Structure 1
Amino acid sequence: MTADIRAGATTRRPAPTTTERPTPRRGPRPGRFGVHIFLMGVSLAFLAPLLLAVYASLRPYEETAQHGYFSFPRHLSFEYYRRAYTESGMGKYFTNTLLIAVPGVLITLFLASFVAFAVSRLKLRGGLVLLMFFTAGNLLPQQVIVTPLYVLFNKVPLPWWMSDSLTMYDSYWAVIIVNIGFQLGFCVFVLANFMRTLPQEILEAAIVDGAGVWTQFWRITLPLCRPALAALGTLEFTWIYNDFLWALIFISNPDKLPVTSSLNNLRGQFFTDYNLLAAGSVLVALPTILVFLLLQRHFIAGLTLGSTKG
């Protein structure tokens, strides 16, 4: 009996439970409503031309000519999309655009990553001057060098398997090289600043383990730059895909022109069906939208990286 009393005395009594007060929910601040309304207005302003083009492409031209583009629809169909694809030969022009845009984006990012790594991680002498040199290339107006490049490309020879004209002119390589030259500076600037944010201790540990320069670049630095490369790849593909000036100047064969030039085939000499032209414009814009949707997660990660600590 005494042992039981002692055992009960030594047992710990449970601590009294305290009721936690629920934290009151704070609603959104009144100032944020104004910011949201402003952002929604800006988004609608940017989407309005695209939505109007989609709306017009689904209606017959006779209906919009009679009732206006902002009238209530009487008949909707995808007939204009079929006509736009077949009458403009858009499939061939899509292939030409991919032959220009895909190598242009890959080569630009590959060369830019090399230069950015050398400038930001290897501590080269004159690295800042080199970075300024690449960045200053974007400040040069494109129209200034149109005539010198036209003369130069007519004199640069290429083998028959690279160009039908045996010169740089009237070949895909002319458009690819010009796009690489103008986009390289921007990519070097972005990647160099991104690589500077990477911890230096990672490369120091790799050097201690015996990693060479190529290993530091290819197996350590480049995988960490995946968000930045995805964001740049999305932007570069959009810019090169939508380019019309360089292809119009350096390509004379109509069968080699990019998809942006196919819209001219939908314009008549005396009459233009703008609903048909709107359908063609929507079809031309679809690949860039698809690329953004596929790389959306990496694109947003590349834009927001460094905005928060930790």
Structure 2
Amino acid sequence: MTAVATSVEGFRRQAPRPARLLLHAFLALVSLGWLAPLALAVYASLRPYHETAEDGYFSLPRTLTLHYYASAWRDAELTKYFLNSLLIAVPGVVLTLFLASFVAFAITRVRLRFGVPLLVLFTAGNLLPPQIIVVPLYELFKRVPLPASMSDSLTLYDSYWGVIAIHVAFQTGFCVFVLANYMRTVPYEITEAARVDGAGVWLQYWRVILPLCRPALAALGTLEFTWMYNDFLWALVLMSTGDKMPVTSALNNLRGQFFTDYNLLAAGAVIVALPTMVVFFALQRQFIAGLTLGSSKG
């Protein structure tokens, strides 16, 4: 009888509650809502345009082909534009994480007198809508000189440096906020022990704190790469040379003057989205670990 009672009690504990079932159902619906546009784009990219024009996008396919992917890659010159996006996103992510981690280290470990107001200032910078400073930045970038080896226009305008700089400026505040809150969870005794062993500020940052922040850095790196890679506004405003544009602008090459093949455009959009998916799956474990930081103790 005791064994039976114990098994019944264990079943009751393991049985899902209605609230949890409702939560899982809600999360499943939200996930499907986010995946539906991507699934429809992939489905449309595999069908000829005349078929979807006759039967509609939600009809059963008569023909499935990868022809549009080859055409999108060739017609949009995606190889060149992929390289342009990487020249902007990779240095932007590295600089943002380096500056943000160093500022967060200074705020949380060096114990600056104005550390908290400085953190509030960096966080408040994220509340500024970027659209309201488009015109001032456009005029400023045309007046900031650069040597010919760094910019063909001899100014910050129409150069990769300008787009990288604006991404770093806007994203550093968010990264400082996240990293500072994570670094506060690292015991102070660790840096005090390193200081007793003779480690300076740089060694404390580079050899002690930064390795412990790897999950947070991986999560932020994934998000920042996605945001910078998918950006279209700043490249459109701060660049004028078409060959320097990022890959998000290459999709315009697939739009005709009088007619647009949306199945071809869908294939191009799927190809453009692949690098962000590769980055996410490559850093998936660290990304999830970074999202769950502080969710449990002990």
Post-superposition offset of 1:29: 2.6
Unaligned segments of structure 2, at least 5 residues: none
CA distance in 2, matches of 1:156, 1:38: 51
Task: Choose 186-195 or 130-139, whichever is displaced more.
Answer: 130-139
Over the matched positions of the two proteins, sequence identity in percent amounts to 70
Post-superposition offset of 1:235: 0.3
CA distance in 1, matches of 2:26, 2:179: 32
SS of residue matched to 1:117: helix
Equivalent residue number for residue 82 of structure 1: 70
| 1:277 lines up with 2:241 in the alignment | no
SS of residue matched to 1:204: helix
Post-superposition offset of 1:218: 0.6
SS of residue matched to 2:31: helix
How is 1:223-302 mapped onto 2 (pairs within 5 angstroms)? 223-302=211-290
1:76-122, Cα deviation, whole Å (9 max, x unpaired) = 01100000110011110000000000000000000001100000111
How many residue pairs get matched?
Answer: 292
Which of 168, 189, 204 in structure 2 is aligned with 1:180? Answer: 168
Post-superposition offset of 1:30: 3.3
CA distance in 2, matches of 1:41, 1:140: 32
Amino acid at match of 1:243: D
Post-superposition offset of 1:20: 7.1
Task: Choose 103-112 or 130-139, whichever is displaced more.
Answer: 130-139
1:4-41, Cα deviation, whole Å (9 max, x unpaired) = xxxxxxxxxxxxxxx97764433323332222211111
CA distance in 2, matches of 1:287, 1:265: 19
Amino acid at match of 2:204: Q
SS of residue matched to 2:265: helix
1:43-88, Cα deviation, whole Å (9 max, x unpaired) = 1011000000000000000000000100000000110000011001
Equivalent residue number for residue 9 of structure 1: none
CA distance in 2, matches of 1:59, 1:78: 8
Amino acid at match of 1:29: R
Amino acid at match of 2:249: S
Amino acid at match of 1:149: L
Equivalent residue number for residue 91 of structure 1: 79
Which of 48, 54, 58 in structure 2 is aligned with 1:60? Answer: 48
SS of residue matched to 2:65: coil
Task: Choose 289-298 or 147-156, whichever is displaced more.
Answer: 147-156
CA distance in 2, matches of 1:190, 1:232: 8
How is 1:150-165 mapped onto 2 (pairs within 5 angstroms)? 150-165=138-153
- The structure with more radius of gyration: 1
CA distance in 1, matches of 2:24, 2:123: 35
Equivalent residue number for residue 201 of structure 1: 189
SS of residue matched to 2:126: helix
Amino acid at match of 1:42: V
| 1:116 lines up with 2:104 in the alignment | yes
CA distance in 1, matches of 2:253, 2:137: 28
Equivalent residue number for residue 70 of structure 1: 58
Which of 87, 93, 98 in structure 2 is aligned with 1:105? Answer: 93
CA distance in 2, matches of 1:197, 1:155: 44
CA distance in 2, matches of 1:303, 1:264: 35
CA distance in 1, matches of 2:113, 2:279: 38
CA distance in 1, matches of 2:202, 2:26: 48
CA distance in 1, matches of 2:222, 2:154: 33
| 1:146 lines up with 2:120 in the alignment | no
Task: Choose 26-35 or 264-273, whichever is displaced more.
Answer: 26-35
CA distance in 1, matches of 2:137, 2:24: 47
CA distance in 1, matches of 2:20, 2:223: 30
Equivalent residue number for residue 221 of structure 1: 209
CA distance in 2, matches of 1:79, 1:156: 46
CA RMSD in angstroms, aligned pairs only: 1.3
Equivalent residue number for residue 200 of structure 2: 212
Task: Choose 136-145 or 173-182, whichever is displaced more.
Answer: 136-145
Equivalent residue number for residue 19 of structure 2: 31
1:224-275, Cα deviation, whole Å (9 max, x unpaired) = 0000000000000000001001100111000000000000011111111000
CA distance in 1, matches of 2:30, 2:272: 24
